[in-house]
Amino acid sequence: MRLITRIAFLTAFVATSLFAASSAPFHKTFSVNSGGTLTIDADVGDLEVTAGSGNTVTVDVTQGSRSNRFMDITADQTQNDVTVRGKFEGMRWGNWSSDAKFVVSVPSHYNVDLATSGGEIRVSDLQGQAKVKTSGGGIKLGKIQGTIYAHTSGGDITVGGGGATADLYTSGGGIEVGNVAGNVQAKTSGGSVSVDHAGGDVYIRSSGGGIDIGEAAGTVDAETSGGSINAKLAQQPKADSRLSTSGGGITVAIAPSVAVELDAHTSGGDVTTDVPITIQGRQNESSIAGKINGGGPRLVLRSSGGDIRIRKL
């Protein structure tokens, strides 16, 4: 009995030791100039990038794991660029769990190209471009002055703002976007989408939630099968716009100077308007077609799950 008890104790001790195992922290600093690119390629782990006040890139990586195997971490500099890699060598890393974390400080004027297959990605405000991709976590970006490309298969995407265009995709969460100066493309299969302001065109697809567009200066192409749509047309669109939902109603607020040709129809409610419309053809409770401010590009509204409302902005 004492032997069995001792074996059980040793087994529990070994298991606890493996669970609490951790590798030595990785730390490295590089002297760079503004305008370079930080690349992180990690098999697993959370990635966090912050903007510093100097011309240095500082890399810190910590690892704790349920196994006694850890990623090999390397960090190298080529001219003004820094590349950080975290790789499980000689093994299938997917069979191991890890709580690795990459924390990197870069100059405020710097670009990032980040990829992890098992963690979250967070980036502070940057005066550069941001390309980020993860297969297993959420993405949170601050205000990025360059182009934004953010893709995840397993979490929400939040973007504080952008000075150019934004291309966003998630199959497992919602998308929230602040003020973006250029075009916004947002796709999700598992949540809602909200855009505070887009200085260009807006393209949105959602299979699992509503769509909220605070202001759009360009054309709007928004479609959802899982919620309502709210949008504001603040400036004159240069091409046709379309809003469609099979899971809710549509409310569109139109600025006084916007001129469009309205085509609104719902099979699940009524169409009402506060905006003067020159009616063309037949009008009934579920359909309105006509010109607003003399007409212009088409504004097509379609709902099979609620009312359609056209309001003054």
197 inside domain = yes
143 inside domain = yes
Tell me the per-residue pLDDT of 134-183, one tens digit each, with 9 for 90 and over: 988 999 999 999 999 999 988 999 999 999 999 999 988 999 999 999 99
Region 15-22: what's the mean pLDDT?
42
Which amino acid does the sequence have at 19? F
Q: Give the contacts of 59 (CB within 8 A, at least 6 positions apart).
A: 26, 27, 28, 29, 30, 75, 82, 84, 102, 103, 104
Name the domain count of the chain.
1
pLDDT score for 117 = 87
Tell me the per-residue pLDDT of 261-299, one tens digit each, with 9 for 90 and over: 999 999 979 999 999 999 876 677 889 999 999 999 999
Burial class (CB in 10 A: 0-12, 13-18, 19+), 211: buried
pLDDT score for 96 = 52
Which amino acid does the sequence have at 170? T
DSSP annotation of 48 reads E
pLDDT score for 283 = 74
Provide the domain limits for residue 144: 39-54+89-312
For residue 275, give both structure tokens. 């905006």
DSSP annotation of 129 reads -
Torsion of CA 164, 169, 173, 179, to 10 degrees: 10
Do the bridges between strand 46-52 and strand 56-62 make them parallel or antiparallel, or are there none, so unpaired? unpaired
pLDDT at 66 over 90: no
Tell me the per-residue pLDDT of 40-61, one tens digit each, with 9 for 90 and over: 999 999 999 999 888 999 999 9
190 inside domain = yes
48 inside domain = yes
279 inside domain = yes
Residue 93: what are its φ and ψ, rounded to 5°? -65, -25
pLDDT score for 24 = 80
Q: How far apart are CA 169 and CA 138, in angstroms?
A: 11
Q: How far apart are CA 120 and CA 138, in angstroms?
A: 5
7 inside domain = no
Closest by CA to 29, choosing from 106, 90, 87, is 106
Q: Mapping DSSP to helix (H, G, I), strand (E, B) and coil, where does residue 95 land? A: helix
pLDDT score for 281 = 67
299 inside domain = yes
Region 89-111: what's the mean pLDDT?
78
Contact 88/73 with Cβ under 8 angstroms? no
174 inside domain = yes
Report the predicted TM-score, pTM, of the whole model to 2 decimal places: 0.88
For residue 95, give both structure tokens. 């069979």
Q: Cβ atoms within 10 A of the Cβ of 140, count?
A: 20
At residue 185 the predicted structure's pLDDT band, cuts being 50, 70 and 90, is very high
